[in-house]
Amino acid sequence: MQKLQTTFILLSGSVMALGQAAAANSQGSASSGVDYQDSASPDTSSHYEASRERPNILWISVEDIAPILSSYGAKGISTPNIDRLAGEGILYRHAYSTVGVCAPSRSSIITGMYPVSIGSHNMRTGPHFAFRSPENETYQGYTGLYDHRGRVVPQYAAVPPPYVRCFTEYLRMAGYFTTNNAKTDYQFNSPITAWDRIGRQAHYVDRPEGAPFFAVFNDEITHESRIWMKKDDPMLVDRENVPVPAYFPVIPSVVEAVSRNYSNITELDRNVGRMLDELEKEGLLENTIIFFWSDHGGPLLRQKRAVGNSGLHVPLIVRLPNGEMAGTEVDDIVSLMDLGPTVLSLAGIRPPEHMHGRAFLGPYKTDNPHRYAFGSADRFDEVYDMSRSAIDGRYVYIRNFRPELPLIYRNAYREQIDMTPELIEMDRRGELEGDAAYIWMKTKPLEELYDLHNDPWEVNNLAECPDHREKLVELRTALAEWQLEVGDLGFVAEHDLVQMMWPGLVQPETEPVTFVNNGGMLELSSATGGASIAWQVEGRDDPAHWRLYHRPIEIASIDTGRGEVTRGEIVRARAVRIGYKTSGITVFGN
């Protein structure tokens, strides 16, 4: 395989300047804030040439897996279909999530922003697993959750700054048909403006003739919950050949859980094969860019919810049409929050400047890849903690802001995996030894430093080692500068954070849409800054499908199918800002 590596350059800046620049790009609820080109210039850096016929883009989004794939050199498993993607595409060796758990990670993916910068870092804020219609978006005031000062934390939707949007809106503005099947889990309800189709039936086959599509298919077969839900299913791997991480004792329940994870990945691989076959039969494979990625690392203890390599390192493979860059390996640091900007770039759309994510392919590919991957860990369900990390591809630095707490804390959800309560009991009895005892520390060091080349399981802390002092200072400084740059909200108690986003603990509501007929051009607006506007024609559009407003609508005598409104038709519209309650429907009759 061809290997690529670029020189790293650390970028720094001020949160205030970033916010002001982003706000300048988002003046007016109908402004796109993007530079869209029908024909993008050739991208000589990636050897991918954008054409006038915009490519289809498909995401295979999977859950809770580290790079445990044969294409990444993993032992004890065979993944021929994913290996095919890697052989025909680009394999990224150093891809990382921003958080080691699904909802905060997915909030960074849909917005292109660090969760700690937009208030979506605590797992989880509300019932946001899947889309709810605006009328069904309700929240519970009492959840049994309290912040570290003993104050109630209700269910809520995170409210990012007004310039933050779901990146799919920019695709819709450019004529893409967007579908999501079906998971959202963004820490806020998916706005009705984000997708053309969303839900278990959402599919690119519903697109208008000639429209390019961006389609997401979320496969949940490898989710943490499937470790116990599928424990009676046939095992698809040989237990004796599955490697057990050094931080686990080799006991039957551990071997079974690790093997089940490998077995579920094997089943996932078969699902990927079926999807590739379907694309090939439909004649879409060579006009579709395919992304394969996991939302964070593995599903077991010291993997899911962890802020080090075991929790953040993920597989990422991108297959371009017609064999472009086939068999390439890339060593650059890539973050999952780069996915949105990269999709925009490949579609010929300049990513908005406010995004922390950077395009790694396409005509707007960044000249400055990330020097470090930064990660965060805060509240996980009923348990509070706070750690941050910086990873340079070889070294992992972790700063623990709650060192008085244990590394492995009690968490009811993950204790449904049989091995977890058994290990808790073994630790209580003092039966764990060596590396298997390491992760059961009763308090955490202020700092951790691991050399992945010599210590892939992260069990030998080098933070106090004089020989690694220079690397420790480098990563410590980089992490501190990043926290200041993005305005790390982890230092705000969650009750106060909710009050900042929902004053009085009441969800703010988007102002309704107003209409102005300006010489036969219908202009829509909302008084709420950062609001997006959805509209439809009564009797002509599916009531469940909302168009995204981004330019004045022509009131024409004859509808030509380009978004005009025929005289006499009724236009319905509503506005929504992320985290706000969607406005009521307002009507214009011409």
- CATH code assigned at 229: 3.40.720.10
Picking from 339, 371, 403, the residue at the C-terminal end of a domain is 371
Identify whether 205 is part of a domain: yes
Q: Tens digit of pLDDT for each residue in 225-248?
A: 999 999 999 999 999 999 999 999
Picking from 303, 336, 371, the residue at the C-terminal end of a domain is 371
What is the pLDDT averaged over residues 96-123? 98
What's the gap between Cα 405 and its chain centre? 28
Whether 37 has a pLDDT exceeding 90, the answer reads no
Rounded CA-CA distance 202/217 in Å is: 9
For the question of residue 166 being annotated catalytic, the response is no
Identify whether 32 is part of a domain: no
Q: What is the dihedral of CA 302, 304, 309, 312, to 10 degrees?
A: -170
pTM score: 0.92
Whether 18 has a pLDDT exceeding 90, the answer reads no
Q: Report the pLDDT value the prediction gives residue 53, as an integer from 0 to 100.
A: 76
What is the pLDDT averaged over residues 494-504? 98
The catalytic position among 18, 74, 95, 102 is 102
Whether 8 has a pLDDT exceeding 50, the answer reads no
What is the DSSP pairing of strand 288-294 with strand 56-62? parallel
Identify whether 391 is part of a domain: no
Identify whether 469 is part of a domain: no
Output the CA–CA distances (angstroms, integers) from residue 295 to 16, 41, 389, 483, 524, in the order listed: 29, 31, 17, 22, 36
Q: Which residue range is the domain that position 526 belongs to?
A: 508-589
Strand-pairing partners, residue 181, are 217
Rounded CA-CA distance 24/453 in Å is: 44
What is the pLDDT averaged over residues 372-384? 97
Output the CA–CA distances (angstroms, integers) from residue 260 to 219, 232, 277, 484, in the order listed: 16, 10, 26, 41
What's the structural domain count of the chain?
Answer: 2
Rounded CA-CA distance 510/254 in Å is: 50
Residue 8 three-state SS: coil
Q: Tens digit of pLDDT for each residue in 439-496?
A: 999 999 999 999 999 999 999 999 999 999 999 999 999 999 999 999 999 999 999 9
Tell me the residue type at 11. Answer: L
Structure tokens at 46: 């990636």
CATH number, domain with residue 569: 2.60.40.10
Q: Report the pLDDT value the prediction gives residue 556, as an integer from 0 to 100.
A: 85
Picking from 353, 371, 389, the residue at the C-terminal end of a domain is 371
pLDDT band at 19 (very low <50, low <70, confident <90, very high): very low
DSSP letters spanning 476-506: HHHHHHHHHHHT-GGGS-HHHHHHHHSGGG-
Phi, psi of 200 (to 5 degrees): -65, -20
Q: Tens digit of pLDDT for each residue in 279-305?
A: 999 999 999 999 999 999 999 999 999
Identify whether 143 is part of a domain: no
| Among 309, 362, 357, residue whose Cα is nearest residue 334 | 357
Residue 424 three-state SS: helix
Q: Tens digit of pLDDT for each residue in 113-160?
A: 999 999 999 999 999 999 999 999 999 999 999 998 999 999 999 999
Identify whether 526 is part of a domain: yes
Identify whether 308 is part of a domain: yes
pLDDT band at 558 (very low <50, low <70, confident <90, very high): low
Rounded CA-CA distance 529/161 in Å is: 9
Percent of all residues in the chain with a pLDDT value above 70, rounded to a whole number: 90
Identify whether 432 is part of a domain: no
